Amino acid sequence: MIENGVYRRRQSAVAIALALMAPVEISCTVGPDFARPEPPAASGYRSDPKDVDAEPVPDALTQHIVIGQTFDSDWWMLFKCAALNVLVLQAIEGNRTLDATRATLARAQELAAASEGARYPQLGVTAGTGRQKYGEQFLGSFATIPPFTYYSLGAVVSYTFDFSGGVRRSVEQQGALAESVRQELAAAYLTLTGAVVTQVLAIAAYREEIGAVERILAQDRENLQLVQTAYEAGSVARADVVSAESQLANDRTYLPPLRQDLNTARHALAVLLGKPPGNYAPPDFDLSQFTLPRELPVSLPSDLARRRPDILAAEAQLHAATAAIGVATANLYPRITLSATAGPQSTDLNQLFDSSKNAWSAIAALTAPVFDGGTLRAQRRAAIDAMRSRAATYQEVVLEAFGQVADRLDALDHDAEQRAAQTRALEAAESNLSFARAGFSVGNSGVLAVLDAERQSQQARVGYARAESRQYQDTVLLILALGGNTPYSPDAPAQSPHAF
């Protein structure tokens, strides 16, 4: 009865020790609390000076900016090209860089989850055996214990009181780092989709330019035939034939670099899709397959700072650096750790599970820094400096984002002007070429006039193709500068890193 009473009292003591180790929410948390930084005050992206001498632009070539709105669907669908939509989805599934970033995010999230465990008691099981001998003075004159073998089995639990908040700051830091990687994944997603659309538009643009040059070459051959016929009739000199041959040879030089650029774009698209270029031939695209978005939603500067991935990644890095100050500050304070063990111990293995062999212990330990050569305080100052660096980096990222949006808005204005000017230049060049050919056929003008008109037509055709392509490309760049729309955007539903 006495032994059972002692055993129950021991069990109660262990239970009390375990209860004391339960997580305790303590209000004191050292270090600064993170507050989202305010972006630079700006009501718009541009000072918006007006070009008073700008030529009027037909409404069919202009795009309208809708201030205060954001993209509410997959942004590439604005171009209304089904084949483009298929390729973008294939890239999201097969791109290796995106796969690597997904794995990096999964790792960061698991590390954040692992850090949470430090907030709770640590429970384990221990078992051991050993041979031991005590010295003669261990028990003094009471007894002499001969060497013995012992066996033990039991549970061990420990808990560190987080009264300074160091553990909570560490958990906060790991969570912020995971959020930073999440935003890096959003940026990689946006970069990938933008690169796919850009390469598809490049393919269409190069094919458009190649088509224009091939049409010019066909006209060159026709002109050469006309001049040769006139030379044989004796109406023109041999120099006119040489000039026509020279024009044809010169125009042929435009094709090889365009074909090289086209192949490079095709290879880049294959890599983006996660396919070897030698095993994949992307479909041919024409600019006529795309619809230029007439209305472009543009978020306010204050909203851009709350949704663009690289800005949010910089913000999360600042959050992590702020939490690191709390971790470094907590290291300056004492640390209290409780530990307890309970379980049977015996010198006879056959009697290990006898209830009379149970033993327990409860230990409280306090450790506090006294002298460390200034290491801990230097680490705290370093953490403060790191936070200041991250704050400056955040502000720089925001300013650069505003600048990119301003550049793209200006670019779209000038693209519309350029495309309108190229339209007028092409119309004029084609009219001039038609008159030159008509005059040459009736003998009112020479071959040089036809060749000169041909050059102007060539420049106008290629110039228009490039102006049209540039307007599409700058539209993509504006969407990317505005943060596009990703599954990881702040207003998007929460997603697993493996969901895309």
Task: Locate 462 and state its tokens.
Answer: 């290629």
**Structural domain includes residue 352:** no
Residue 492 predicted with pLDDT over 90: no
Residue 9 predicted with pLDDT over 50: no
Look at 216 and 331; give whichever has higher pLDDT. 331
pLDDT tens profile 356-379: 778 888 888 888 888 889 999 999
pLDDT tens profile 51-107: 655 667 777 778 888 888 887 768 999 999 999 999 999 999 999 999 999 999 999
pLDDT of residue 474: 94
**Structural domain includes residue 147:** no
- Gap between the Cα atoms of 304 and 308, Å rounded: 6
Beta strands in 319-457 (DSSP E): 335-346, 358-367
Which residues 6+ apart lie within 8 Å of 339 measured at CB? 156, 157, 158, 159, 362, 363, 365
Residue 17 predicted with pLDDT over 60: no
Give how many domains the chain has, as a whole number.
1
| Mean pLDDT value across residues 170-185 | 94
**Structural domain includes residue 468:** yes
Closest CA to 17 of 366, 364, 367, 365: 364
Look at 481 and 17; give whichever has higher pLDDT. 481
**Structural domain includes residue 212:** yes
Q: How confident is the model at residue 224 (pLDDT cuts 50, 70, 90)?
A: confident
CATH number at 102 reads 1.20.1600.10
Question: Which of 109-113, 279-283, 403-407, 443-447 is least confident?
Answer: 443-447
Domain that holds residue 49: 30-120+163-333+374-481
Amino acid type, 470? R
- Gap between the Cα atoms of 253 and 279, Å rounded: 29
**Structural domain includes residue 14:** no
Residue 21 predicted with pLDDT over 50: no
**Structural domain includes residue 13:** no
Which residues 6+ apart lie within 8 Å of 12 measured at CB? none
Helix (H) or strand (E) holding 252: helix 238-252
pLDDT tens profile 232-268: 888 778 888 898 888 889 889 989 999 999 999 999 9
β-strand 335-346 against 122-132: which pairing, if any? Answer: unpaired
Amino acid type, 297? P
Q: How confident is the model at residue 139 (pLDDT cuts 50, 70, 90)?
A: low
β-strand 148-161 against 335-346: which pairing, if any? Answer: antiparallel
Which residues 6+ apart lie within 8 Å of 9 measured at CB? none
- Gap between the Cα atoms of 286 and 272, Å rounded: 20
Task: Locate 162 and state its tokens.
Answer: 């987080």
pLDDT tens profile 294-311: 988 898 888 899 989 999
**Structural domain includes residue 391:** yes
Q: How confident is the model at residue 10 (pLDDT cuts 50, 70, 90)?
A: very low
With contact defined as beta carbons under 8 Å apart, do 412 and 478 qualify? yes
pLDDT of residue 4: 45
Q: Is 58 helix (H, G, I), strand (E, B) or coil?
A: coil
pLDDT of residue 119: 87
**Mean pLDDT of the residues in the chain:** 85
pLDDT of residue 87: 95
**Structural domain includes residue 128:** no
With contact defined as beta carbons under 8 Å apart, do 362 and 155 qualify? no
